[in-house]
Amino acid sequence: MRIASDKSLTKSGNACALPVGNFGDEDFRFVFYYSIFPNMLLSLHPDYVMVHQLQPQSPERTLIFCDWFFNPEAFERGDFDPEDAVSFWDLVNKQDWHVCELSQKGISSRAYEPGPYSARESIPAAWDREYLSHLR
């Protein structure tokens, strides 16, 4: 995904840390998202890496761990503040989880019929296909 202002996905929109790797100018403008089946989501940002681990507890409940990783040299700088990224994703995650909760309620209805994913939802669509292939 291209970062809108070519900076970072943080509350301020600015990078919150040193780059996590050697990026070319073009790669520094993108976030790369990966889904590692069955329970890991990997988000590679120019200034941090975020990992979500999902641990199903029951059909209606999942425990989610979210960890951030930063360039080790960032911790040595006096201006390093990961809160800009962490608070941004805390807000986004809570919004996403609310949508998931609403979806779970809808799916449990006898009247439920799945609809198509939008073109922007390629990762959830791919995850669903992979999940269904393991059920067969």
Q: Does 105 fall in a domain?
A: yes
CATH of the domain at 76: 3.90.380.10
Which structural domain range is residue 64 located in? Answer: 27-135
Residue 6's pLDDT band, with cuts at 50, 70 and 90, is: low
Q: In 10 A of CB 10, how many CB atoms?
A: 22
**Tally of structural domains, the chain:** 1
pLDDT by residue (tens digit) across 77-122?
988 999 999 999 999 999 988 988 888 887 778 887 777 889 888 8
Sheet holding 40-44, edge to edge: 32-36, 40-44, 49-58, 61-69
Assigned token pair, 80: 């390093």
Q: Does 11 fall in a domain?
A: no
Residue 20's pLDDT band, with cuts at 50, 70 and 90, is: very high
Global confidence as pTM: 0.82
Mean of pLDDT over the chain: 88
